[in-house]
Chain A
Amino acid sequence: MAKTYEEINDKISKGKAVVLTAEEVSELAKTLSPKEIAQKVDVVTTATFGAMCSSGAFLNFGHPTPGIRMEKIELNGVRVCGGLAAVDTYVGATDCNPERPAYGGAHIIEELVAGKEIVLEAWGKGTDDYPRRHIKTLITKDSINEAYLYNPRNAYQNYNVAVNSTNEIKHTYMGTLLPQLRNAAYSTAGELSPLINDPECRTIGLGTRIFLCGTEGYVAWNGTQFHSTREVNEHGIPVTNARTLAVVGDLKQMSTDFLRAAYYEKYGVSLFVGLGIPIPVLDEDLAHRVSIRNEQIETTISDYGDGYKILGRTNYAALRSGEIEIQGRKVRTAPVSSLAKAREIADILKSWITNGKFTLSAPVRPMPTNTSVKPLTVRGFEDETGI
């Protein structure tokens, strides 16, 4: 018998919902059938805590007197978007001043969340209604109007394992890759990862209420580079980077426990984002999906030293064992996203739901199907790569 969102929410508000984390349900699935799980369990919480470069925050500073049409804006010396009306901006996580590459948008966002003061400096040409040409002042998250995180591409459904076959260290967004396959870096939270537990996005769509960096947030749209037609394995899991989510939430309510700036050596700034998604166990099919185990989740090994050449396939049970085999060689593995934090998030979300504080929202529009990702081709101009 299928359950409805209403029935589950009713149970939640009465404090009677049975909520498990995705790891707990995978454990339970060793002894119970999907049918039994569908009867017993109402909600499964999933989570991830990793660096997600495609993140950022919209801010509205409020109007000073006399007014200014901010056309060039800097926050703590970092140039941010000046293309949004008079006193709005978007701070991209990877925004930075090239002269100080280790500090950027993500750090500003973390400091805002922490309640710290940020230096705002802006310039305008001066207009009839906004005569001011310059302003320099201090702001905090409480002194400004809106501050919300809007991340165009988070929560990647699966991700490549990164290795490096060259003779030199490679500094990448997957961390330090040692020469000659001396390490393999993986970033997905395996059986706890949100889009792995609902691989076809049956319950995750526009408007899905989620945990975002310590507070509630929402799925705003399909993420950019949303790829719904990747090859899947026998368990229905895409074997490489596939779907993504655009998410939104109130920055003022967030916590630096679940949002952190990152700097990758010789690469750039990024933002660690903590994300948790509840999955309603509406029927047997979903019960089966959320029961997925690490050994059933496969991913692709990619050589970041050699044009992302594919070197094989592995699974998350092997990756977590600390060693995998690549082309007959034993290679040490390590994560580059935090499973400890992801577990914390899944537990918090579980307690919110169990305590009746957090109900589930059905998608107002499902995620797109039949999408793939286009490359960018150079046309109309000579390809001057500057490499």
Chain B
Amino acid sequence: MTQKMILNFPAGISGTPITYELIRVHDVKVNILKAEIQPGQIGSLLVELEGDQEKLEKAKQFLISNGVRVSPVSSKVSYDEKRCINCGNCVSACFSGALTIGAPDWKLHFNPEKCIACKLCLTACPQKLFRIEFSTIN
């Protein structure tokens, strides 16, 4: 089976040895769909893990015990469009390109497929219009 998830790495640990160990020790196939990591900094990986259920569960536990925040990718980011003033603050923070604003209308556009659930828009919006919902994966 495959599972998509977002791995948020805290500052100070690099993603590379962890993904390496996932593959080598835990025997799961790691497909990195999107990476946003710089050494020594907070980073995010959108990954697809492939393996049997037991191995996936162990892999997840391994990640969590290493301080990685694991979020199922069915996490859904949404915002209150009615209150939005199209100021762009969330766009400024959104490095994955899910939130964009520009010509001709200069209104906020959201492409959920590009969202890596980094949550930066939640704090960046001066009106706190963003919500994130996580669906639980057994």
Contacts and interface: CB of A to CB of B under 8 A. Distances in A.
Majority DSSP secondary structure for residues of B touching A: loop
A265 interface: yes
A341 interface: yes
A29 interface: no
Given A272-B85, A334-B91, A180 B38 contact: yes
A176 B120 contact: yes
A337 interface: yes
B17 interface: no
Contacts of A339: 86, 106
B15 interface: no
B88 A176 contact: no
A344 to B, nearest CB: 10
Interface in B33-88: 38, 40-42, 85-88
Give the interface size class of chain A.
Answer: 35 or more
A341 B101 contact: no
A320 B106 CA distance: 10
B131 interface: no
Give the interface size class of chain B.
Answer: 20 to 34
A113 to B, nearest CB: 14
B124 interface: yes
Interface in A164-183: 167-169, 171, 175-180, 182-183
Contact of A183 (B42, B93, B101): B93
Nearest to B126: A262
Contacts of B87: 49-51, 272, 335-338, 341
A300 interface: no
Contact of B123 (A168, A265, A335): A265
Given A272-B85, A320-B102, A176 B126 contact: no
B114 interface: no
A49 B123 contact: no
A179 B41 contact: yes
Contacts of B135: none
A346 to B, nearest CB: 13
Contacts of B86: 338-341
B127 interface: yes
Contacts of B89: 175-176, 185, 334, 336
B126 A263 contact: yes
Given A175-B89, A179-B41, A334 B123 contact: no
A334 B92 contact: yes
Contacts of A338: 85-88, 106
B14 to A, nearest CB: 14
A128 to B, nearest CB: 47
Contact of B93 (A102, A178, A341): A178
Contact of A337 (B38, B41, B88, B105): B88
Contacts of A320: 102-103
A175 B120 CA distance: 11
Contact of B38 (A102, A171, A179, A343): A179
Contacts of A337: 87-88
A322 interface: yes
A261 B87 CA distance: 12
A340 B106 contact: yes
Contacts of B107: 340
Contact of A336 (B41, B92, B103): B92
A130 interface: no
A260 interface: yes
A334 B85 contact: no
Given A260-B85, A320-B102, A341-B85, A183 B92 contact: yes
A270 interface: yes
A180 B43 CA distance: 13
A264 interface: yes
A316 to B, nearest CB: 12
Given A263-B126, A340-B105, A176 B85 contact: no
B130 interface: no
A270 B38 contact: no
A267 to B, nearest CB: 10
Given A261-B127, A265-B123, 15 more contacts: A168-B41, A171-B123, A178-B93, A182-B95, A260-B85, A260-B127, A262-B126, A265-B124, A272-B87, A272-B126, A334-B91, A336-B89, A336-B92, A341-B85, A343-B106
15 contacts: A49-B87, A102-B128, A175-B89, A175-B93, A176-B89, A177-B92, A182-B95, A183-B93, A261-B127, A262-B126, A265-B124, A272-B126, A338-B88, A340-B86, A343-B106
